[in-house]
């Protein structure tokens, strides 16, 4: 029986290459459900990804897609949006792709408030490239480059996005599927740079090394450590240890990059774009 969301996937590119129990498929399906919720056409929606396990998603999704270079999805997406502002442009990236290799592109995309929806699949590690520590690997967690535990302090990508100028910032987890879909759909609604951190389990490169049990155990860990924003705000500091907030963490209004650019064109005498 064909299910409604299957029209959004390239059936001839399936099955996917992700490991059994990987959370990337959950986040990918949340994206198409959010697109479906918005009623966006596949012909008017572009998916752009970088490099890594998460970025393989663009190959499976039946939209106009671009699988770009490591860390470079946001500049490619910015070019697409400026060339044709009528397109809906979604970026899929991973924690390493977005906050390490593409870190500068990320902060400047936020600063410019480009009308993009960036979904960062955060599995706390470089999966595809060999299990190295990424900027979101927790302090003390093991990786192939940190066999005795990482000593680097961890980026909070949501705080980084907010500080850099993103106008919609949210976090959800692979355990909270409907919530994740809603957070992405709200990001699609925002006219400006939207950043959604989708926490996903990587049982192979992160879970195994850190003895986190089965994929189901990793999902339960998310269930037990995520705290909705309203409850988080009331949580005393000492009870926040090893927990993290989820939900819409920040939103604001600001002119988006394309509209600002139009104003420049007008000031310059109304030349064609």
The site for ligand SF4 (CB under 6 A) is made up of 18-19, 22, 24, 53, 123, 127-128, 202-205
As measured in angstroms, the least distance from the Cβ of 205 to ligand SF4 is: 4
CA distance 179 to 23: 15
Nearer to ligand SF4, 118 or 205 (CB): 205
Helical (H) or strand (E) element with 155: none
- Residue 227's SS3 state is strand
Q: How far is the CB of 166 from ligand SF4 (least distance, A)?
A: 24
Full DSSP string of 78-140: HHHHHH-TTSEEEEEEEHHIIIIITHHHHHHHHHHT-S-EEEEEE-SS-TTTTS---TTSPTT
Name the minimum Å distance from CB 27 to ligand SF4: 11
Question: What's the min distance (Å) between Cβ of 116 and ligand SF4?
Answer: 23
CB-nearer residue toward ligand SF4: 19 or 259: 19
Q: Which is nearer to ligand SF4, 24 or 181 (CB)?
A: 24
CB of residue 118 to ligand SF4, shortest distance in Å: 18
Least distance between ligand SF4 and beta carbon 196 (Å): 18
Could you tell me the two tokens for 230? Answer: 């309203």
In sequence order, what are the residues at sequence separation of 6 or more whose Cβ sits closer than 8 angstroms to the Cβ of residue 16?
A: 25, 56, 60
| 8 A C-beta contact, residue 156 and residue 149 | no
Instruction: Output 24 or 33, the one with its CB closest to ligand SF4.
Output: 24
| Smaller CB separation from ligand SF4, 35 or 205 | 205
Which positions ≥6 away from 28 have C-beta within 8 Å?
57, 60, 61, 92
In angstroms, the CA 37 to CA 39 distance is: 5
Closest to ligand SF4 by CB, 202 vs 227, is 202
Nearer to ligand SF4, 32 or 128 (CB): 128
Tell me the closest approach of the beta carbon of residue 123 to ligand SF4, in angstroms.
5
- The answer to whether the bond into 13 is cis (omega within 30° of 0) is no
Sheet-wide strand order for 117-122: 64-67, 45-49, 88-94, 117-122, 194-199, 168-173, 244-251, 226-228
């Amino acid at each position: 029986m064909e299910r409604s969301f299957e029209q959004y996937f390239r059936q001839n590119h399936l099955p996917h290459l992700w490991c059994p129990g990987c959370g990337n498929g959950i986040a990918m399906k949340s994206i198409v459900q959010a697109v479906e919720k918005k009623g966006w056409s596949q012909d008017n929606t572009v998916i752009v990804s970088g490099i890594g396990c998460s970025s393989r998603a663009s190959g499976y999704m039946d939209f106009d897609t671009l699988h770009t270079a490591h860390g470079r999805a946001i500049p490619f997406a910015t070019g697409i949006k400026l060339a044709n502002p009528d397109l809906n442009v979604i970026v899929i990236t991973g924690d390493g792709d977005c906050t390490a290799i593409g870190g500068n592109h990320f902060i400047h995309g936020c600063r410019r408030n480009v009308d993009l929806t960036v979904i960062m699949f955060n599995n706390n590690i470089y999966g595809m490239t060999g299990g190295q520590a990424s900027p979101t690997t927790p302090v003390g967690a093991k990786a192939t480059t940190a066999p005795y535990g990482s000593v680097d302090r961890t980026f909070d990508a949501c705080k980084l996005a907010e500080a850099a100028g993103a106008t919609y910032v949210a976090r959800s987890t692979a355990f909270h599927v409907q919530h994740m879909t809603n957070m992405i759909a709200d990001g699609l609604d925002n006219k400006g740079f939207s950043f959604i951190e989708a926490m996903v389990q990587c049982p192979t490169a992160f879970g195994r090394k850190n003895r986190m049990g089965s994929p189901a155990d990793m999902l339960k860990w998310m269930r037990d450590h995520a705290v909705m924003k309203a409850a988080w705000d009331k949580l005393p500091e000492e009870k926040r240890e090893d927990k993290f907030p989820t939900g819409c963490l920040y939103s604001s209004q600001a002119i988006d990059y394309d509209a600002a650019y139009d104003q420049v064109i007008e000031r310059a005498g109304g030349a064609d774009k």
